[in-house]
Amino acid sequence: MPHVDAEGAATFPADAGELVETAFAKINLALHVRHKRTDGYHALESLFVFTQLGDRLSGRVRSDGSINLYVEGPFGRELDAGPDNLVMKAAHALQAHLGGSPGADLRLRKMLPVASGIGGGSADAAAALRLLTRLWNAPLSTEALERIALSLGSDVPACIGSVSQMVRGRGEVLHRQSVAGLSAMPILLVNPGVAVSTAQVFGNWDRVDRGPLAASDLEQLIAAGRNDLEAPAMAAAPVIADVLAALKACDGVRLARMSGSGATCFALFETDRQCARAAERLRDGHGGWWVAETRIRTE
């Protein structure tokens, strides 16, 4: 069972001979799509924050060079543990970068919904890179890890550090950015139990550039920020609109938006009590929704 650290975050103690990393959930507090690039990717501007909630990845070293992955947890059945899993891709990419390495037995406890817009797979891949550099005693610079991470997916580089940052380009331009008032703020995550296709959502974006993202403080983020993928995501999964409406109707909400390409939505609250009451209300009224109370990670 996980225990709770001084910040209130769930942590996972390792068994003997085992290393552990938490793959923290990623939240796009705002996501502005500026244009489609000539390489087929979309140019984005997004403020990423991470929550204290996440998946658990543990690992032990093997001497034969092979890599094995076992997946368990509430959402484990929805994932294949084969070579297409991002944890496996990350492990093999790091092994190739190092020109060979010991192997590993990896175990992923999947606590976050799959294909849900909160970077679960990307966070898992980043956690794998962090864990394996420790397990294999192969320290790499943050820049080197981020280059490997970008080859795995646009969100993976930001998940390496898992700190609040402005992310631009396709995910390769990172600038650490703290926003006053956000650190340790209560946040409620809600997923209606549907998976949406990231490619479909981006493909249905209307290609209208609605302007750059500015997030010097929380009030500016609330007033001028947006998620340009909300409309195409709601077209693909109308229940997302129901989730947002339910969150906005809760007492004490400062900001409610969809994260990433959906379908997970979030709400920021001033107090833990308001967040807990909202969670109780949504669980009572929508038994099929995944509802999780947590906080934004402190830095």
Q: Among 57, 53, 76, 55, which Cα is nearest to 18's?
A: 57
Catalytic residue among 26, 55, 110, 124: 26
Active-site residue flag, 248 = no
Q: How far apart are CA 82 and CA 59, in angstroms?
A: 16
Q: Among 130, 165, 146, which Cα is nearest to 29's?
A: 165
β-strand partners of 68: 105
H helices of 11-116, in order, are 86-98
Catalytic residue among 55, 89, 110, 155: 155
Number of other residues whose CB lies within 10 A of the CB of residue 39? 6
Active-site residue flag, 155 = yes
Q: How far apart are CA 130 and CA 186, in angstroms?
A: 27
* CB of 229 closer than 8 Å to CB of 205: yes
Q: How far apart are CA 162 and CA 25, in angstroms?
A: 9
* CB of 110 closer than 8 Å to CB of 78: yes
Q: How far apart are CA 129 and CA 90, in angstroms?
A: 6
Q: Among 127, 71, 119, 63, which Cα is nearest to 94's?
A: 127
Backbone region of residue 100 per phi and psi (left: phi > 0; alpha: psi in -120 to 50; beta: other values): left
Q: Among 107, 97, 113, 115, which Cα is nearest to 54's?
A: 113
Q: Among 133, 137, 61, which Cα is nearest to 94's?
A: 133
Q: Report residue 41 as tokens.
A: 């990717």
By annotation, the residues acting in catalysis are 26, 155
